[in-house]
Amino acid sequence: MNTKMFVQNFKKQKGAAAVEFAIILPILIMLVFGIIEFGIAYNNWISLTHAAREGVRLAAVEDYENMDDFEKKVRDSSPSVNIETIKLTGQDGNIGDSVTVEVTGAILNIDIPLVGSWPVQITSEATMRLENKL
């Protein structure tokens, strides 16, 4: 192979890497920010699930006359998430009946550069049997 020809071909390819990188960079940025944003949303969902499980465990074992005390304990079990609503159903049933807690978090904005922003509201629900009725 001719060395002169190889050098000429190499000089022609000099800017190709920069052009390819410029084409791929927006896709790479969207992918990285998408992973980060969905990771944050998933972390909030896990925290809400923990709060719902803690709330249903408290509701199944203890009898709450004061809902403010119950809601405070549920909110304190997951301090990293802003909990908007806590819905408790079935606490007035008999032992062995189901009690359910549904927890709704604040609206999150999933914001991915070059793509857009989506509001997402995360909810989680947990159910257990009522174990104790005072």
Q: Where are the domains of the chain?
A: 3-129
> 14 is written with which tokens?
């000099």
pLDDT at 133: 64
pLDDT at residue 49 is higher than 90: yes
pLDDT of residue 118: 86
Does the global pTM surpass 0.85?
A: no
